[in-house]
Amino acid sequence: MTPARLVAVDALHLARVRKRYASEVIDELAGDLSPADRRLAVQLVMGCVRRRATLDALVKPFIRVPFHAVQPRVWDLLHLGAYQLALLSHIPKHAAVHETVELAAHVDSPQAKGFVNGVLRRVSELVLDEPADEPSADAVPVEERYRRLARPVLPDPGNDGAAYLAAAFSWPHWLADRWLDRHGWDECLRLGFWFNRPPPLWLRTNSRKTDRESYRLRLAAATIDAEPGEGPQSLKLLDSVPVGELPGYAEGDFAIQDVSAQAVAAALNPSPGMRVLDLCAAPGGKTTHLAELMDNRGAIVACDIERDRLATVESLAGRLGVSIIETVLLAENEPPPTGPFDAALVDVPCSNTGVLGRRPEVRWRLQPREFEHLIRLQTRLLIQAIERVRPGGAIVYSTCSIEPDENHGVVAAVRRGMPRLALEAERVAIPGRPGDGGYWARLRKPAL
């Protein structure tokens, strides 16, 4: 068996039992792998998490025992094997089955090896090596196309479009219903393909240490291709390279930040010497961007309710060489510092529906009943930020959600209670065009 597959199945198990993000676990376990094995392990783990519902649809027709009787680790193996068989094109079928069956020896069950072998061989027969032209009950989405199945195992999109989206693209059914009503069939198909492929890696060059073109040329000298994005500091990597091995990492020449997220701090347009409140600061991408835009002059009060996550803000600030950030640990529901501040950034906790590709576990953890709680929290945080900004100061409210009720809905509700609060600008970032989905609005408090 390959080290990559062994690490992958261990990462799936540990992420589940420890209730952690798979990306964090795989980073810990894959440290000793070769670059090629590490890439494969990450691809397998994140693919199995993203496509869980699709993989269930492919394997369940061939399971002849009650589903609850199958051990969780055996489910991991079935998902791992089915992912390689159906959703990857570069792994031979015999290798996918053989390597996965060998991993079953690590499961505490004498029947596991034969069971996994039997199911995966049937899945191998189900998946055909021919393309399909359109979504159907016998066509599974793979990368940017469809792959033909030997028989229908998915819901018929003509009879139940939401059920097809949920199974074929691996969304919870309630979210498929919600998005089909809001976005329509064609856009849901586009979102399905976008959220199921590995997201691009965007860099934000550190304007205090370099500029985008100089750093792009430095990458090119190391035979790493990158292209400029919409923001003046943004670069999209076109090659797969571990972040820590990129030129200038230790020197703080760049931070990892999606191009859509880079627009948020820029929307606040902070100036050197300002005192800025960052109300939900961790993990620090937008906080450190503010510090760079302020040329490390002034003060940023960065608040959060988790000590470990605030530590990531401090660590990132140290690597990037910005020193004007003061972190403040708040107890849950504790009000932030009183101010007054010249400006405030409120990057609120949200549903994360704009970043399902980057945070695939969200699609399984988020429940529709959570929106009411999130919207109350978002509204409260925005009002607290407004109250702490001086007259005439700016407030930027932002999310990584594409749900209107978390975005313009919250801003509109707050403005109804504060009619003199001006909405100067707002933007909805659409997933895949070109980065993550999200929203920001810049508000201006009335001058005295």
Largest CA distance in the chain: 76
Distance CA 365, CA 18 (A): 14
**Rounded to 5°, angle at Cα 369 from 364 and 371:** 90
Residue listed under structure tokens 């139940």 = 160
Q: Is 400 a catalytic residue?
A: yes
Please spell the DSSP secondary structure of 338-355, one letter per residue. Answer: ---EEEEEEE-----GGG
Q: How far is CA 56 from the centre of its chain?
A: 22
Residue 155: DSSP 8-state = P
**CA angle 45-237-437, nearest 5°?**
70
176 — phi, psi (to 5°)?
-60, -45
What is the Cα–Cα distance from 102 to 77, expressed in whole angstroms?
A: 10
Question: 322 — alpha (psi -120 to 50), left (phi > 0) or beta?
Answer: beta
Burial pattern 361-398, b for ≥16 Cβ within 10 A else e, equals bbbeebeeeebeebbebbbebbbebbebbeeebbbbbb
How far is residue 357's CA from residue 47's CA, in Å, rounded to a whole number? Answer: 10
Length of the chain, please?
448
What DSSP designation does 305 have? Answer: S
Question: Within 13 Å and on the Cβ side, how many CA atoms surround 415?
Answer: 19
Residues assigned a catalytic role: 400
